[in-house]
Structure 1
Amino acid sequence: MKPSGPLFTLLAGLLLGVFMLSLNATTGKNTTASAYGDTATPTPAASAPAPSQTPARTPSQTPSPSPSATAVADAEYAGRTNDDAAAVSVSVRGRKAIGYYCDGRSQESWLKGDVEDDGSLRLTGANGARLDGVLRAGKIAGTVVIQDRTRKFSAARAVKPSGLYRATAEVRGARIDGGWIVLPDGRQVGIVTRDGKPAAAPRIDPASGVVTVDGTRLTARPVVP
């Protein structure tokens, strides 16, 4: 007796279903996912940890050495005020300075102070006298204030016998104090004070410093701080 057509078709369908199940099991495919068109979301790869960033090392800074003191040579300086009214001289020794302002008639002032590392000077004297200057390139330039009057001056380095001289003594019962500036051109400007009374000074012998005051022979010596 021959099997009927519908029965044969049913058996064929069952066999096909078993075959498809076996094929899915073998390949591991998800037929449901394929049916709906879903795609598997890939698992994101673990990001590698960022390398640790070590701060760039700043090179150590070596402290700058302190500026060395300006070399100041022992020397004398002599010159005149810009208005040619008076002479100015400064003697420098070991960063100490003595200055002298003199008009050769009645006005004078002795000043003293220090020479700073940058070559600047600030000398002071009696009655508010002041000398401010800068020592540079072999000369001193600045201002001098005497009796509230300010004058500019310039004094070049002096070569013997130019420079600053002073003599003190007692002559005929009077106290003598004389100051002289010998300028580079040979001119002399000086005042001799007798018991506090100033007057023009006689000339000195620049080679020896000898001078005669009121008939008495004195020796004017170079001034050093």
Structure 2
Amino acid sequence: MKPSGPLFTLLAGLLLGIFMLSLNATTGTKAKSSSDAATPTPTAPASTPATSTTPPAAPSPTPTPAPDSDYAGRTADDTAAVSVSVRDGKAIGYFCDGRSQESWLKGDVEDDGSMRLTGTNGARLDGVLHAGKIDGTVEIRDRTWKFTAARAVRPSGLYRATAEVRGAKIDGGWIVLPDGRQVGILNRDGKPVAAPRIDPASGAVVVDGTRLTARPVVP
């Protein structure tokens, strides 16, 4: 016997409803999975670098060049005198015992006041300028003298005279100390003797009856 029309219609509607429910369930799961995949994973915010609180380094002090001046003094054993003239970072020095031993030296003065002056036959003066004086050593022919040379104000300081007198070559060096004492050597054709006194005010000096002028020495 054939089923009636209404029963067939009801059965078909029930099957269609079950199919639709199954389809909706499947579609909803897939949509949810796709939505989850599309959502970006939150990331932690980048940390802000800590601001340094270390104060900037203080600028280095600008070196001060050695002042232009003249210096004169005695060796520690009081057997000789030393004078140094400083101009524009250059220096000329003179060591003299007033009898037979002398040496002219020259070199540079560093911004910290240190200096190394050199002369003939390996002569050397090492010194440091500070507090208005030069402390150092002079080395000549394997012998060393310590000295201190204080700032000298004219007429104190270093003098030299060169000339030809009666056929002889004259070369004289003088150190006028702050207390007025003079130490010098006069060379006649390379032979040293004690130098005659000069007039510090004018530099005048008489050598073998001839008047010469000793002039201040500067680098």
TM range (shorter): 0.7 to 0.9
Identity of aligned residues (%): 78
Partner of residue 135, structure 2: 141
Q: What is the RMSD of the two structures over their aligned residues, measured on CA atoms?
A: 1.9
Shift of residue 148 of structure 1? 1.1
- 2: CA distance between counterparts of 1:110 and 1:65? 40
Partner of residue 154, structure 1: 148
Shift of residue 49 of structure 1? 6.3
Whether contact under 8 Å (2:65, 2:112) holds in the other structure is no
Among 110, 113, 116, the alignment partner of 2:110 is 116
Question: What code does the residue aligned with 1:196 have?
Answer: G
- 2: CA distance between counterparts of 1:122 and 1:183? 22
Describe the SS at the equivalent of 2:186: strand
Segments of 5+ residues of structure 1 without an aligned counterpart are 1-47
Question: What code does the residue aligned with 1:169 have?
Answer: A
Q: What is the TM-score normalised by the length of structure 2?
A: 0.77
Question: What code does the residue aligned with 1:146 have?
Answer: I
Among 71, 88, 92, the alignment partner of 1:77 is 71
- 1: CA distance between counterparts of 2:119 and 2:63? 26
Runs of 4+, deviation exceeding 4 Å:
48-51, 59-64
Among 186, 197, 201, the alignment partner of 1:192 is 186
Segments of 5+ residues of structure 2 without an aligned counterpart are 1-41
Q: How does 1:125-136 map to 2 (within 5 A)?
A: 125-136=119-130
**Paired residues, number:** 178
Question: What code does the residue aligned with 2:152 have?
Answer: A
Partner of residue 4, structure 2: none
- 2: CA distance between counterparts of 1:198 and 1:61? 64
- 2: CA distance between counterparts of 1:53 and 1:133? 59
Which segment drifts farther, 52-61 or 64-73? 52-61
Partner of residue 97, structure 1: 91
Question: What code does the residue aligned with 1:176 have?
Answer: I
Question: What code does the residue aligned with 2:139 have?
Answer: V
- 2: CA distance between counterparts of 1:208 and 1:221? 8
